[in-house]
Structure 1
Amino acid sequence: MESNRQYLTKRALMYGAFLSLCWGPVTAQQYAHASHAPVQHTRVSLEQALKAVASRINKKLVYDTRQLAGKQAHTVSAGLPADRLLEEILTNTGLTYRVEGDLLVIFPGDVTDGASSNRSIRQQLTVRGHVKSADGEPLVGVSVSIKGTTTTVSTGISGQYSITAPEDATLVFALIGFVKQEQAVAGRTQVDVLLEEDNQALSEVVVTALGIKREEKALGYGVSVVKGEDLTDAISNNWSDALKGKVAGLNLTQTGSGPLNSTRINLRGDRSLDINGNEALVVIDGIPMINGKISSGVDQAYGAGASGVDKDIPIDFGNGLSDINPDDIESVTVLKGAAASALYGSRAANGALIITTKSGRRREGGIGITVNSNTSIQDVLRWPDWQYEYGQGNNNRNANGDLYYSYHLSEDGANTGSTSSAFGPRFDGQYYFQYDPEIEGQSVDRRLWRPYTDNIKGFWRTGLNFTNSVALDGATDRFSARASLTHTKNEWIMPNTGFERIVASLNSSAHLSKNLQVNAKMSYTAKSSDNLPGTGYNNQSIGYFMIFQNPNVDLEWYRPIWKQGKEQLEQIHPFSSYIENPYLIAYEMTNGLKSNTVEGNLQGIYTFDDRWSLMVRSGLNMRQDKRDNRRPYNTANFPQGYYKEQDVYFFESNTDMLLTYQNKLTPAIDLRASLGANAMRYESKTNNAIARGLLLPGIYKLSNALEQALADNDLQRRRTNSVYGFVNFSYRDLVFLDITGRNDWSSTLPDGNNSYFYPSVSSSYILSDIFSLPDAFTFAKARLSWAMVGNDTYPYRTAKYYSKTDFPGSAEAPSVLHNADLKPEISRSWEAGVNVALFNNRINTDVNVYTITTENQVLSVPLDITTGYSSAFINAGEIRNRGIEVMLSGSPVKNDNFSWTATATWSTNNNRILSLSEDVEGEEQIIATSGTATLLATVGGSIGDIWGFGLVRNPEGQVVFNGETGLALRPNDISKIGNAYADWRAGLVNEFQYKNWRFSATIDGQYGGLLYSQSHHKMTEQGKLRHTLLGRETMTVIGEGVVLNDDGSYSPNTTPVPIQTWYGDYYRRANIETNSFDASYLKLREVRLEYNLPVSVVSRWRLAGASIAVYGRDLAMISDFPIFDPETASLNGATIVPGVEMGQLPTPRTWGVNLRFQF
């Protein structure tokens, strides 16, 4: 028994020794010397050796025992592949092998004769590992490929990867900004890699105009790239919010008008006197998108007390930008300069945002699945400083001379309850006859005079937002695809408002042959809302109600909406017929939306050879909105109700062709040249059907119109045909030169002026390679560019067109004189910049300076009425923008477990109007008006200058008062009060990573700028804000300033003014100066804390990755602006007017949690 046990032990040890030779792990360093590995000797039988090899490669061994009897295995070398190992074992044995399916067959023959049989027996291994940077930080998105094949995977959120590869394969690890590294598998199943940063490269690939990918170092103009993951750190209803503070020179203007919150994107300042002609172009996967807005209401945000069909309130139905799903975005490249966007011609006179969507990637196991679930809550960021010490009243006094209150006539005195002002008695424990909601009238007994401090805040609720998405992607050698589906359900902070959105997208690519690649992309968005809030200073807006609500009025009194027994006929608004019931505004004055958007393109790329290729692409963008506005009976503007249906249709198609040639002209010079063409077709339609009154209340159908329903429509079409080309030269990767040219033919311009050419020249110099710089310089680049781009104009301005009227068969002559000689606006731009990286990329700075001059402005100038026209279009005016943009990033701390990266941006833009037309009276041009504030262009001034009446001041700057009345003197003429745009903007992003934890925070703000507030005017006039407590004790105010004496000298003002008169006059609506405020602010924009589950955990759950994050957006703000938020503008129909606040709605503050699972 003992001898048998010793025999078995000996055989097992010998068998194990042979297995260890076959399977023993080899480190990367050892494998580098594998060809010189020492010969290992063993005394194992040939039969046992072959069984060990068969086990290693998962094959069944088939052999004749007589042929193997008594034979010993020959010497073998460690680390050999299985086929080489078999050759060594069988050499000089008279035997060879072949593989048949799962069988390893041994038979007579010469193993050195490779032609004798099928010898392909390389074992397929599942190789796993982690890829990190040299300082131990996990690297996401590293391409891991098998050398010589197209098999590729990417590392996950923790730098992990998994790939199936032959045992003797070589893996290639590549990531932009790092040195490519190769690792031999050598039979290993675990291969971990550290990648070194490529200090010489710094050549990040960016997507430029026309969707062309270029190395950043080759560009002669400044670009900014925001990665897709940076857009989803703190999700909002409009993903473009995530760009704030991250791109120098970018200004996003929003109206704060509801959950969809349309955005005006501006790069490097306004260049056109047409306020709607300054928005950047948005391009998705090479196709321009429709980002315009069409109003459903009046074209003025100020509409107080107005009535009639033309005075419906502006509604923000959103623009195309908000329909993009941020989880589908791979990156956003911001082309700020004209040289960067010149290839888009007149479409990109104001720069461009190039959005690249995600595509399919090869995944281990075939298809990758990403599930993302996001839940967030919203409340109000900040409230105005209301006063709750005094109640409703107009300084009314009883027979004893005391302030009193009475809802309707009572024994205490006349009615004081119908005013909107709060200059009544202090809340001091007294009792008055007040409103009784039970009887919907005056209370029988006196009631406690008290404030309701929640009577505005209590109207707003905690908002909820749920976003869930699933994405599937994968790829093979010839095909890749990604499909995603996202559902968003929003319940905004205002009751009965919000929206629902579904976005489905598909992005695919197929190599149909060696030469032909076809790419297809399509997305569909369905968006709906039962109610979106109105905006502006209009009694249909909840902002209007907040202004007029009094401190002594309980919000609950309004909740029933309708008076008992008079449902749908008479609302509860007991204090003023001009102030609508807030719950009626929320639940009865609804603005519905059903929107469908389709966007996509089909692209074919044919590669003739290494030099020539042809790209053909056709894309479309189509959007259709069905909107309705419902207004019940018994409202100030529409006493008999109102109903409107509006159909809005946008369509744009773009077809491109691009022929490209690239070649190495000499060993030092590389050339790439392209010639292309584009055909653009655009159409928009609007159909309106309006019931001015309702026959039966509460029934919203056109057939229920009190009178015949009115209908009108609008149609606009435009076409642009273009040819373009560019040439890129590279000299030894040291100097780069780009030359571009584009010619557009526009249908909106007259014959003779509808053809215009846009050239550009840009260059880049890699100073760190051209010169010998100090060791501290890792990389240095200088760039310089010049470009000319332009703007055409709107349709139907070059010929005489007639309009329909309300009377069938009739037409209306135009009131605007056409101009058959209109020319396009032309912008010429110079830009210079430097990019420097120091201390092994620990510090990186990028600086741009630019000058942009725009001429041939298309202006509307007034005409004498005797001409038969009110105005005419002309070309005139010259605008100049100069600015500086700075980006500074760095890694103050980087080690194996912890890293801290920071990025700061700063920008300033100076705008100057150099000239206007001599035909413009007084050298002034109105850009926009909102209420009593006017954006006025004057020679020597700037776009964004706010003009209006202000205060009269003496030479020392003191306010001058009337010595008799005590009121401030009023100037005879308007003057410049300030400018809507900031002196400078800045942002700071910090990110900290500790093992699997990541924390990031973004702050941004602006310095300077002016904002006129209609809400401040009215709430001050009515005594609603805390600063109006000044003078309540004495009931008078003495203005701080001087009076003009008869001898021309000045003396201090000492004349008291009754408080209600004082606040009503000094802060009157026409006084733009006293109601305008510094728009500077600093915001804690984003905060995110994320935890990525360790690989050891997710692997047990059969996941590729998982993370959980909590985040916040717009969490805190520092600002002197007294209303909700200085980051606002007014909405004049479809026009966003900066520098003016009109009945602003609150800004939401967001808290959320995000779960992500990858399979």
Structure 2
Amino acid sequence: MKNNYSRLKWVALIILGGILFFLSKSAQAATITPLPLQQQAVVGVVQDQNGLPIPGVTITVKNTSRGTVTNLDGEYSITAPANGTLVFSYIGFKTVEIPVDNNEEISIQLEEDVSALGEVKINAGYYTTTERERTGNISRVTAEEIELQPVVSPIQALQGRMAGVEITPGGSNPGTASTIRIRGTNSLREEGNFPLYIIDGVPINSIPVETNTIIGNAGLDPLNNLNVSNIKSIEVLKDADATAIYGSRGANGVILITTKKGRGIGTGIEANFYTGVTTVPNRLDLLNTQEYLEIRRRAFENDEVEPTENNAYDLLLWDQDRYTDWQDFVFGGTSETTNANLTFSGGDEYTSYRLGGSYFTQGTVYPGDYDYQKVTGNLNLNHQSKDDKFNLNLSVNYGVDINNLVGNINLTSSISRLPPNAPEVFNDDNTLNWEEWSLAGLDNPLEGNYNNSVTTTNNLITNLSLSYKLISNLRFKTNLGYTSFDSKENIKLPRRSYNPAEAIDNSSSHLYTKRKSWIIEPQLIYNTSIGKLSIESIIGATLQENNSNRIRFQGSGYSSEILIGNLAAAERILNAESVTTEYRYSALFSRIGINWQRKYYINLTGRRDGSSRFGPDNRFSNFGAIGAAWIFSDEPFIKKAFPFLSFGKFRGSFGTTGNDQIGDYGYLDAYEATVGPGGLYPTTLANPNYSWEENKKLEGAVELGFFEDKFRLGVSWYRNRSDNQLVGYPLPAITGFSSVQANLPATVENTGWEIEATSENFRNDNFQWQTSFNISFPRNELVNYPDLEQSSFANTYKVGHPLNISLLYEYTGLDPETGFYTVRDVNDDGSFDYQDRTIIQDLNRDFFGGINNSFSYKNFSFQFLWEFVKQKGRFTVFNAGRPRNVSTKVLPALENEGNYQTISQSRQANTAFNFVENSLFPIQDASFLRLKTISLGYNLSEEFLDKIGIEQLRLFTHGQNLITLSPYEGMDPEFPSSGSSFRTLKTITGGLQIIF
């Protein structure tokens, strides 16, 4: 498989190189096409007030969409009418308009205007806005912040960079889906909390892809196949004003991913490459061999039990001087990661394009030759007619990845805490050592080591956007999108992975997943101005269809290991299952944006949604929102009273969105065939009456800028209430069913404060320093749940408390007679159950955020991001006395000191531990401060680059998760569930970026 994939990689690169060469020649030919007589070429240089060139300045012909950008020397070339006007714009500088007036050369100096930062365009989905004019809550990160991070999915690059956006890794294996929550958990169902992903205008299924590999329940991230280096920006829509135009699809927030476009006039090639290593950053402080053996011997003494080969194999059968650091054995490896990216862009004043490809590979820290590999290709084509009436944009993103992992082994906590004197797991001939482990009555802990899982996915995301100007202020636009995702998973389980004493056949497990969707969105866009009043409006429709298919089965009885996976060689096909579903969605939507004098803004959105997931009488529902903003800093009395206030805006919004994230066909009866021939039995009860969940969102915010916007501050308060919850309504056992899908008047509320700040601390010709900061204070509460105590969720949720809680016993100290842990028997009935779990522990984060600093000095740049989280966690690695390694924290118990119980392996001691494990005793402060990213870059001098014919050459090094400061005693405070698991890896990379 690896050899085939290697060939695929080189063939793809050769083909890509040929295409780039062809396009390069075509683009050169295009640039010498004779121009119409009424047009003329204009060249020039754009500089700042110090005479330094400004690269990246946008120059457009006024009242057209024709434009270009300056190169690193501030030079530009554009074709314009002799009587036309050129518009020069760049973030941080005032926009300038200069008539062409038959001039063939126009060079200018731009004046700094920090307030112009508010004019940067923000993608709001069906329309664009600016930081100054937005009425909704939209967070944004750009390519410079994410493109060179060594991550598989772009979602992983957002950690710590956005207020209200909480991202936790799903695991340490490459390709594992992360969990993302935008302003908390809204639904009682796990599948009801996924945000909407939009890539270049096309929605994709955000639910992680099912897998049977060691990735587990987290699933595969559907964004894995994207090229992170090809992303221009990621916007996250959070409040009602921003999300309501997406209706039911935006109930949990919207993530808009925009890919890069061509450069305009001329051609260019950009290449970047990095390579590096990844390791596990932390270890548990566990007992060494002598400490462990002393603990074990004390357990037998305390229990007054005679050690035998059955109960004390580690004392009597195993080497007493042997020491193995099982943590180092399991996850002490070094994983290599490499990324190569190549893009070609060019065009003329009417057409631009960008074509690129990338190759990414990442290994694992576990023993064995396992890795993740990805090849991507992308194309973006933009065209406009000479009369500027017709526009076309084509976006194609395609990715193939292969995830090669060990199958069906827990490679973290189960093996890393083996006794330090445990025998070798391998024999000298690299076969599994069964003999020594079998003498102790145990299976080899690496049972299944030779299993192998290979998951191959293909992902195509394409969008064609067409627009035509019907009259002066009216434009017709349509988006046509198509996605195709398929996953093929094959797990091989050879006989040699298991104990030869057991009769186990060679077998295989197969899982195929196919997702297809198409979407059509016609729109009419009308913009006009009447004096000081400006109106932007849009009306459109959405037609969408999703088809999914899942097939799973097992093959058994292969005569040879080499045949495993070849179903024609299997003796038996077992547990075959095929599920096909179809989902249809339609909507009408509209938006009217009104502003008066660019000071007073009102944004009205509405949408009527229809979903095939509900019965015929409940398929349609209406959603909408209103957003408003007042830029009070433009009022004359404010300017006079507060001259230091450069910008001030109040904004607020209220609206409703829906949620239809449930299974398909739930309103119909479902049947399965009986084991015997000719029979059916019901598996699901029908309920045609359930309908949409509804999420009501309210927000108020203030945005301030001081001292010419050198310091900007934004504070937002929000309240989201999700009710009419779609959950399983419990039924009596006599019905034969545990529940039926229904709406319950349960209400989940998320409230919180978000603070975002940016500052320009210092700036001169050579040195700049900027800081950005964000912090979120989220609160989640189950406000209402009728008859909760009679439902199956009685021991999961509590009214008045968050959804993510633990019900715990009250710890009452060590028993003075036995020395064992004790917890309170609240009702004095002599048993311990959920009636005694009276303490409610909130497992949510109290607050989280990040602080980022960016420095530049001449050709050097330096950036670092600290992520911080305030939370609680559990640490349970202290059950001393049993044949498992534990924390060195238990050593004082040898002297009957400290807070841990008497060392014992008795049933009473283990029961006491099980009780205390579910009390406040193991709860710790799991807050952390983490150096999330750090980057150092150097741009080679222009004089040197001119000599070798290169536009830009940048060298850089990047670090991720290098330092974590935390009082938590476990492996990873980001995953503080028990203490012996981890999800965060430390990565260091170095590379270069070249632009020709």
TM-score range, shorter chain: 0.7 to 0.9
2:809 maps to 1:950: yes
Residue in structure 2 matched with residue 1148 of structure 1 by the alignment: 985
1:1082 matched residue in structure 2: 929
Is the partner of 1:224 in helix, strand or coil?
Answer: strand
Match of 2:887 in 1: 1026
CA deviation after TM superposition for structure 1 residue 659, in Å: 0.9
Larger Rg: 1
| Shift in Å, 1:623 | 0.5
Structure 2 counterpart of 1:852, one-letter code: N
| Pair 1:161 & 2:33 matched | no
Which residue in the other structure is 1:939 paired with?
Answer: 799
Q: Indicate which of 758, 763, 768 corresponds to 1:894.
A: 763
* Pairwise CA distance, 1:361: 1.8
Task: Output the TM-score relative to the length of structure 1.
Answer: 0.75
The answer to whether structure 1 residue 553 and structure 2 residue 422 are counterparts is yes
CA contact (8 A) 1:221 1:832 kept: no
Match for residue 821 of structure 1 among 663, 666, 689: 689
Equivalent of residue 621 in structure 1, options 471, 483, 507: 483
2:462 matches 1:603: no
| Partner Cα separation in structure 2 for residue 464 and residue 961 of structure 1 | 51
Deviation at 1:684, TM superposition (A): 1.4
Q: Which residue of 2 aligns with 1:849?
A: 717
Residue segments in structure 2 that go unaligned for 5+ positions in a row = 1-31, 826-831
2:658 paired residue number: 790
2:365 maps to what in 1?
493
Corresponding residue of 2:354: 482
Q: How does 1:351-390 map to 2 (within 5 A)?
A: 351-363=253-265, 366-390=266-290
Contact 1:743 1:758 (8 Å CA) reproduced: yes
Q: 1:333 to 1:458 in 2, by over 3 A?
A: closer
Q: Distance in 2 between matches of 1:523 and 1:184?
A: 40
1:258 and 1:316 in contact (8 A); partners too:
no
Paired position in structure 2 for 1:884: 753
Residue number in structure 1 paired with 2:26: none
Which piece of structure 1 moves more, 554-563 or 620-629? 554-563
- Residue 685 of structure 1 pairs with residue 544 of structure 2: no
Cα offset, 1:820, TM superposition: 1.8
Asked if 2 retains the 8 angstrom alpha-carbon contact of 1:397 and 1:404, the reply is: no
Q: For each residue in 1:464-503, what CA deviation from the matched residue of structure 2 results, as whole angstroms up to 9, or x when unmatched?
A: 1111011111131221111110111222222322211111
2:241·2:627 contact (CA, 8 Å) conserved in 1?
yes
Equivalent residue letter for 2:455: L
Name the CA shift for 1:571/1:228 in 2 (closer, same or farther; >3 Å).
farther
Does 2:376 match 1:503? yes
The answer to whether the Cα contact below 8 Å between 2:510 and 2:552 also exists between their aligned partners in 1 is yes
Q: 1:606 to 1:944 in 2, by over 3 A?
A: same
**1:376-525 superposed matches below 5 A:** 376-390=276-290, 414=309, 418=313, 434=318, 449-453=321-325, 456-457=328-329, 460-494=332-366, 495-512=368-385, 514=387, 515-525=389-399
C-alpha distance after superposition, 1:921-977 (max 9, x if no partner): 346726xxxxxxx7x222111111123x43444xxxxx3637456442464233345
SS class of match (1:347): helix
- Picking from 974, 997, 1000, the partner of 2:863 is 1000
Kindly indicate whether the alpha-carbon contact (under 8 Å) linking 2:492 and 2:508 is maintained by their aligned counterparts in 1.
yes
| Alpha carbons 2:506, 2:560 under 8 Å: kept | no
Shift of 1:847: 1.1
Tell me: CA distance 1:209–1:679, structure 2 relative to 1, closer, same or farther (3 Å). Answer: same
Q: Distance in 2 between matches of 1:825 and 1:743?
A: 14
| Counterpart contact for 1:983–1:1007, Cα < 8 Å | yes
1:196 equivalent in alignment to 2:59: no
Residues 709-1108 of structure 1: pairs in structure 2 closer than 5 A: 709-773=574-638, 774-792=642-660, 793-804=662-673, 810-814=679-683, 816-876=684-744, 877-918=746-787, 920-922=788-790, 925=793, 936-947=796-807, 949-953=808-812, 959=813, 961=815, 963=817, 966-969=820-823, 971=825, 972-974=832-834, 975=837, 976-1008=839-871, 1010-1012=872-874, 1016=877, 1022=883, 1024-1031=885-892, 1033-1034=894-895, 1058=904, 1064-1068=910-914, 1071-1073=917-919, 1074-1108=921-955
The CA distance in 1 between the partners of 2:435 and 2:401, in whole Å, is 31
Q: 1:864 to 1:922 in 2, by over 3 A?
A: closer
SS at 2:782 equivalent: strand
- Once residues 871 and 600 of structure 1 are traced to their aligned partners in structure 2, the CA distance between those partners, rounded to angstroms, is 40
User: What one-letter code is carried by the residue in structure 2 that aligns with 1:681?
Assistant: E
CA deviation map 1:241-276 (0-9, x unaligned): 221111000001222240112112111111111122
Maintained 8 Å contact 1:562/1:572: no
CA distance change for structure 1 residues 870 and 203 in 2, over 3 Å: closer, same or farther? same
CA distance 1:1105–1:661, change in 2 (3 Å): same
* CA offset digits 1:397-422 (Å, max 9, x no partner): 69x9899999xxxxx97466646xxx
1:682 aligned counterpart, secondary structure: strand
2:637 is paired with a residue of what secondary structure? coil
Give the Cα–Cα distance (whole angstroms) in 2 for the partners of residues 353 and 614 of structure 1.
Answer: 25
Q: Deviations over 1:684-725 (max 9, x none)?
A: 111012135655556413345464433111222211111111
SS in 1 for 2:223: helix
Shift of 1:670: 1.5
Amino acid at match of 1:288: P
Q: Is the 8 A contact 2:581 2:664 kept in 1?
A: yes
| Structure 1 CA distance for aligned equivalents of residues 756 and 695 of structure 2 | 25
Instruction: Give the fraction of aligned pairs with identical amino acids, expressed as a percent.
Output: 20
CA displacement 1:338-381 (0-9 Å, x = unmatched) = 22111111111011111111111224xx2111011111211111
Q: Is the 8 A contact 1:378 1:1150 kept in 2?
A: yes
- Does structure 2 conserve the Cα–Cα contact (< 8 Å) formed by 1:335 and 1:341? yes
- The root-mean-square deviation of aligned C-alpha atoms, in Å, is 3.6
Would the aligned equivalents of 1:139 and 1:159 in 2 still touch at CA under 8 Å?
yes
Letter of the 1:599 counterpart: I
What's the CA shift for 1:1033?
3.8
- Alignment of structure 1 residues 634-645 onto 2, 5 Å: 635=498, 639-645=504-510
Q: Please tell me the residue identity of whatever aligns with 1:314.
A: G
| Equivalent-residue separation in structure 2 for 1:394 and 1:864 (angstroms) | 54
Which structure 1 residue ranges, 5 or more long, are not aligned?
1-100, 102-119, 299-311, 407-411, 425-431, 436-447, 535-539, 565-569, 927-933, 954-958, 1041-1054, 1129-1138
The answer on whether the counterparts of 2:247 and 2:623 sit within 8 Å (CA) in structure 1 is yes
Q: 1:146 to 1:742 in 2, by over 3 A?
A: closer
Match 1:346 to one of 205, 230, 248: 248
Asked if the contact 2:773–2:850 (Cα under 8 Å) also holds between the matched residues in 1, the reply is yes
- Structure 2 contact 866–932 (Cα < 8 Å) conserved: yes
Q: CA deviation at 1:1069?
A: 7.5
SS of match in other structure, 1:241: helix
- Residues 355 and 164 (structure 1 numbering): CA distance in 2 closer, same or farther, change over 3 Å? closer
Do the aligned partners of 1:337 and 1:831 also contact (CA within 8 Å) in 2? Answer: yes
Residue 823 of structure 1: SS of its match in structure 2? Answer: coil
Match of 2:263, as an amino acid? Answer: R
Q: Is 2:537 the partner of 1:673?
A: yes
Q: In structure 1, what is the equivalent of residue 12 of structure 2?
A: none
Structure 2 counterpart of 1:589, one-letter code: N
Aligned length: 937
- SS of 1:602 mapped into structure 2: strand
Deviations 1:20-65 (A, max 9, x none): xxxxxxxxxxxxxxxxxxxxxxxxxxxxxxxxxxxxxxxxxxxxxx
Q: Supply the distance in 1 between the matched residues of 2:455 and 2:436 (Cα, whole angstroms).
A: 28
- 3-state SS, counterpart of residue 343 of structure 1: helix
Partner Cα distance (2:756, 2:802) in 1 = 26
Give, in angstroms, the shift of residue 802 of structure 1: 1.2
